[in-house]
Amino acid sequence: MTDTIIFLDRDTTDRGDLDFSRLDSLGNLLSYGVTGPGETASRIENAEIILTNKVVIGAEEMDAARNLKLIQVVATGINNIDVDAARDRSLAVCNVSGYSTESVAQHVFASLLNLETNVHRFAAEPKKWAESPIFTRLDYPISELAGKTIGIVGYGSIGQAVARIAKAFGMEVVAFSRTGQTTWGEVPRLAADEFFEKADVVTLHCPLTPDTKNFINQETLSKMKDSAILINTGRGDLVHEEDLVAALKNGTIRGAAVDVLTPEPPTPDHPFLKAELENLFITPHTAWSSREARQRLLDGIVANIEAFRKGQKRNRVD
Distance of alpha carbon 226 from alpha carbon 247, whole angstroms: 9
Confirm if 176 and 151 have CB atoms less than 8 A apart: yes
Q: Choosing from 22, 89, 137, 285, which is the catalytic residue?
A: 285
**60 among known catalytic residues:** no
Give phi and psi for 227, each to the nearest 5. Answer: -100, 5
Confirm if 144 and 160 have CB atoms less than 8 A apart: no
Confirm if 75 and 55 have CB atoms less than 8 A apart: no
**137 among known catalytic residues:** no
Q: Where are the alpha helices (DSSP H) in the chain?
A: 21-24, 40-44, 59-64, 83-88, 101-117, 119-123, 126-130, 157-168, 192-198, 218-223, 241-250, 271-275, 291-309
Single out the residue of 229, 236, 88 nearest to residue 171, CA to CA. Answer: 229
Give phi and psi for 28, each to the nearest 5. Answer: -90, 100
Pairing of strands 3-7, 280-282: unpaired
In the 8-state DSSP scheme, what is residue 11?
A: G
Q: Choosing from 39, 264, 292, 306, which is the catalytic residue?
A: 264
Single out the residue of 112, 135, 23 nearest to residue 72, CA to CA. Answer: 23
**235 among known catalytic residues:** yes
Distance of alpha carbon 111 from alpha carbon 232, whole angstroms: 10
Amino acid at 206: C
Q: Choosing from 235, 240, 254, 296, which is the catalytic residue?
A: 235
Catalytic residues: 235, 264, 285
